[in-house]
C-alpha cells in the first residue's frame, strides 16, 4: 500500500502486476497531504482518539478497582450487569444506540464518538483481573499509615498498572481510529469527518484515483503502526500477564 502510493493511478491496477513502480512519484503523497480535508480528518481523529483513550483508562480502571477491592451492596449483580455487554454484538444494538444519542442531541459532535464507548466491559474485566493479583498486604500496610482508598488507588495500583494500561490504551486508540460504521451514522458535518470516514468517502467519489487512495490509506494507517511498534513490548507483557491469570 505504501509503495502503491508512489505509482500513477493506471500503474496501480496495471496487468501484469509490478510490485515496484517504474518511476517513483511523490505527487500522490504531496496531493493528499495538501488536501485540507484530509489533514483536518487526521487531526480531529487523533484528538478524539487521545481523549477517548484517556477517558477509557480513567473510567474502566476506577470501575475495575471498585469491583476488585471494594465491598458494597449488589456488587455481584452489578458486576454481572457490567459484563453482559461482552456477549452482545455491537451491531445488535446499533439502531437503539443511534436513537439514544439522537434523542440526547449528541449527533454531529465529538461527544457522540467518545462518550458511548468509554465504558467497556472487556477493559473493565481485563484490568480487574490484574488488580485481583495485587497482594492485599500492600493495601493493608497503606491503610495502617492512614491512606484513603483513593490514595491507595492512585499511589499503589496506578503505578503497577503500566502493562495492562498499555494494552487497554492501545486497544482503545485502535478502536476509535478504525471506527467507520458509527461515525457515518452519527456525523454529517464534514468538519468532523473521521479519517476512515474520509477514506470511505474518497473511495466513493474518486475511486479511480488508486494512487491517491493508496497514499491516503497508508498515511491513515501510519500512526497505528508507529504506536504498536513503540508499545509492542508492553503489549506482549500485558497479554502474558492476562494469560497467567
Ordered by start, the domain boundaries in the chain are: 4-244
The C-alpha atoms of residue 57 and residue 53 are separated, in whole angstroms, by 6
| Residue-level pLDDT at 53 | 95
Q: Which of 88-92, 100-104, 137-141 shows the highest mean pLDDT?
A: 100-104
| Residue-level pLDDT at 244 | 46
For Cα atoms 20, 21, 27, give the angle at the middle one, nearest 5 degrees: 130
Q: Give the model's confidence band at 222: pLDDT under 50 very low, under 70 low, under 90 confident, else very high.
A: very high
Give the pLDDT mean for 108-125. Answer: 92
Q: Give the model's confidence band at 175: pLDDT under 50 very low, under 70 low, under 90 confident, else very high.
A: very high
Q: Which CATH number fits domain 4-244: 3.20.20.70, 1.10.10.10, 2.40.50.140, 1.10.3720.10?
A: 1.10.3720.10
| Residue-level pLDDT at 49 | 95
Nearest one of 34, 38, 26 to 2, comparing CA atoms: 26
Which of 22-26, 38-42, 50-54, 103-107 has the least mean pLDDT? 22-26
Q: Give the model's confidence band at 245: pLDDT under 50 very low, under 70 low, under 90 confident, else very high.
A: very low
Q: Give the model's confidence band at 234: pLDDT under 50 very low, under 70 low, under 90 confident, else very high.
A: confident
Give the pLDDT mean for 230-238. Answer: 75
Which grid cell is 189? 458535518
User: Global pTM?
Assistant: 0.88
Q: pLDDT of 34-67, one tens digit each?
A: 989 999 999 999 999 999 999 999 999 999 999 9
Q: pLDDT of 147-156, one tens digit each?
A: 888 999 988 8
Whole-angstrom CA distances from 129 to 30, 69, 142, 196, 225 are: 47, 11, 21, 33, 28
The pLDDT > 70 percentage for the chain reads: 96
For Cα atoms 132, 135, 138, give the angle at the middle one, nearest 5 degrees: 125
| Residue-level pLDDT at 54 | 96
| Residue-level pLDDT at 241 | 58
| Residue-level pLDDT at 240 | 61
Amino acid at each position: 500500500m505504501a509503495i502503491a502510493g508512489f505509482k500513477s493511478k493506471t500503474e496501480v491496477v496495471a496487468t501484469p502486476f509490478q510490485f515496484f513502480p517504474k518511476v517513483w512519484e511523490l505527487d500522490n503523497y504531496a496531493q493528499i497531504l495538501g488536501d485540507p480535508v484530509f489533514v483536518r480528518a487526521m487531526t480531529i481523529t487523533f484528538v478524539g482518539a487521545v481523549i477517548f483513550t484517556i477517558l477509557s483508562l480513567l473510567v474502566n480502571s476506577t470501575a475495575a478497582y471498585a469491583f476488585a477491592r471494594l465491598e458494597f451492596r449488589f456488587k455481584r449483580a452489578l458486576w454481572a450487569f457490567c459484563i453482559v455487554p461482552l456477549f452482545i454484538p455491537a451491531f445488535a444494538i446499533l439502531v437503539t444506540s443511534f436513537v439514544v444519542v439522537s434523542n440526547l442531541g449528541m449527533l454531529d459532535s465529538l461527544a457522540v464518538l467518545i462518550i458511548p464507548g468509554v465504558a467497556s466491559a472487556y477493559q473493565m474485566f481485563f484490568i480487574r483481573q490484574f488488580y485481583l493479583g495485587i497482594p492485599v498486604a500492600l493495601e493493608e500496610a497503606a491503610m495502617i499509615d492512614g491512606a484513603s482508598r483513593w490514595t491507595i488507588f492512585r499511589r499503589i495500583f496506578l503505578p503497577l498498572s503500566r502493562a495492562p494500561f498499555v494494552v487497554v490504551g492501545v486497544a482503545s486508540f485502535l478502536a476509535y481510529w478504525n471506527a467507520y460504521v458509527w461515525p457515518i451514522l452519527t456525523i454529517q458535518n464534514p468538519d468532523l469527518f473521521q479519517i476512515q470516514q474520509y477514506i470511505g468517502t474518497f473511495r466513493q467519489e474518486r475511486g479511480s484515483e488508486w494512487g491517491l487512495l493508496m497514499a491516503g490509506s497508508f498515511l491513515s494507517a501510519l500512526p497505528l503502526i508507529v504506536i504498536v511498534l513503540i508499545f509492542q513490548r508492553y503489549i506482549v507483557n500485558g497479554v502474558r500477564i492476562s494469560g497467567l491469570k
